[in-house]
Amino acid sequence: MSERYEIQEILSQDHHGVVFQATDREEHRLVVVRRFFPFGPTGGGLQEEERAAYSIALRRLTEVTHPALRRVLDGGTDPVDGLPFLVTEWHEGTPLSKCLGQLQDPVGTARHLVQLALESSLLLSEVFQEEALWVETTPESIILAHDGSHPGVTFWICPTRWIGNSRMRQDLSPLLALTEEITGWAGHMVSDGAGKGLGAWVNALRKNPDYWSITAALHALNSPYPPLVTPAPPSPAPTVRPFQKRSSTPSQRWPWVFAATLALAAGVLVFLQLQRVEQDPPAHEPLAAPSAPTREAREIRPEQVAEEARNEPSRDPATAPSTVDDISEKARRMAHDRAQAPLFIIGRQYEIQGEVVETTSSRSGSTVYALVRSASGDQHWIGFRTEKTAQFGPKTIDTLLHQSITAKGRLLRESSPRKQIFLIEQDSDFQLSPP
């Protein structure tokens, strides 16, 4: 680690890494240095390309400010073993783990912590270009301030999720476990009305903890109770029992006549609404429907990132949001904006249709790529692993140019200018469309 930081003592150590209290010799202040194991205690450090990507992410992280986040000051990789480290602000306080069972309002505390964790993760998602739970949620890692300063809570950015696999990041079980531990609901049935609706949020996550995006979870947490709908697979249609004819008196028939009139009126309104939708279709449609129910996520394209960066206001600390209310408002706006975006999530399979406008291959020739433009003008890269699919290789991929295709591919992140690709995993998932 850098000679700039003088280690004072070990604060904690586990299979994820070691946390030190240290002194910054240049700034003459206390800091926290965290040396972590990206692949476990015996898995070694980062390779050269991974170190470069880590350095880029570090530079972006130093610009992120949120009242509930330890601000990243510095970081790097050990030149000897390649193990990465982070340097963050030092915060005085008590770990949440030491306060459990002594909180005056456990439900209110749980809701507040979940809100802050989701908001800060949503902001970090802009940096990592993937919507996920980016903060640590173990009670030992969350610090409560002594002086009562607002917001009085400090989260770690979680490095194991940062450089781990996307499936681990998409699971909100850690946030659910934190809520249950604070409230004491772990292992117990909870009514939807418990905690002024927090019970409904907990029950929804218990059913499908890996179906929720940060946007959806934050929106649901702030939605009035009831209802709270879980983004789960559709349930089978109920069995319709045959209608049993029975006699009725006029007084018994009048409520049914009134109800039928209301139903007829509702049907007319629905028909008129459908006619309006058919005449005025939405301006933007997703490229393709997901092959399985997915949680909401924003598809990031390089040109979009560049455009957002140009239009983004200055990150001058003097003008940056500094209160929880400011951050909450920004998070709500981001959640609303993302709710309008196409539904794509890393690791899921989608159907892609369109015309191939560009082809290329990796340097090693192990993967070939085709850029597909849909009828709406959106462009997406699809990829073929040459050892798994026999149809195309570096010498034959050009035959796809200007062809209309239909393909099913799994969305993956890639450390290249393409950023994301839809990987075709077997020959049967690809076919040429009729002219």
CA-CA-CA-CA torsion for 288, 289, 292, 295, nearest 10 degrees? 100
Q: Which residues lie below 8 Å from residue 324, measured CB to CB, with a gap of 6+?
A: 67, 68, 116, 150, 151
Instruction: Return the ∠ at Cα 413 (arms to 71 and 334), rounded to 5°.
Output: 50
CA 286 to each of CA 81, 275, 289, 352, 372: distance values in angstroms, whole numbers, following the listed order: 45, 21, 7, 10, 14
**H-only helix segments in 132-211:** 159-162, 166-170, 173-183, 198-207
Give the pLDDT of residue 166.
Answer: 52
Write out the residue limits of the CATH 3.30.200.20 domain(s) in the chain: 5-89
Handedness of CA 260, 262, 263, 265 (dihedral sign): positive
Write out the residue limits of the CATH 2.40.50.140 domain(s) in the chain: 349-432
Which of 202, 45, 71 lies closest to 124, judged by CA? 71
Mean pLDDT in consecutive groups of 10 residues from the start of the chain, 435 residues: 85 86 92 88 84 85 87 90 91 89 91 93 86 90 68 77 60 92 93 90 88 87 56 34 39 47 51 44 35 35 39 42 49 52 64 92 86 87 82 88 91 78 86 79
Fold of 349-432: OB fold (Dihydrolipoamide Acetyltransferase, E2P) (2.40.50)
Residue pair 98/45 in contact by the 8 Å Cβ criterion: no
Which of 154, 202, 201, 158 lies closest to 177, judged by CA? 202
DSSP symbols for 242-254: PPPP----HHHHH
Give the amino acid at 247: S
Residue pair 324/150 in contact by the 8 Å Cβ criterion: yes
- Give the CA count within 13 Å in the CB-facing half-sphere of 391: 19
Taking the alpha carbons at both ends of the chain, their separation in whole angstroms is: 60
Per-residue tokens: 374: 């849909």
| CA–CA distance, 324 with 335 (Å, rounded to integer) | 16
Which of 381, 376, 384, 393 lies closest to 357, judged by CA? 381
Based on the number of CB atoms within 10 Å of its own CB, is 400 exposed (0-12), middle (13-18) or buried (19 or more)?
buried
Residue pair 403/375 in contact by the 8 Å Cβ criterion: no
Sheet holding 153-154, edge to edge: 94-95, 143-144, 153-154
Fold of 5-89: Phosphorylase Kinase; domain 1 (3.30.200)
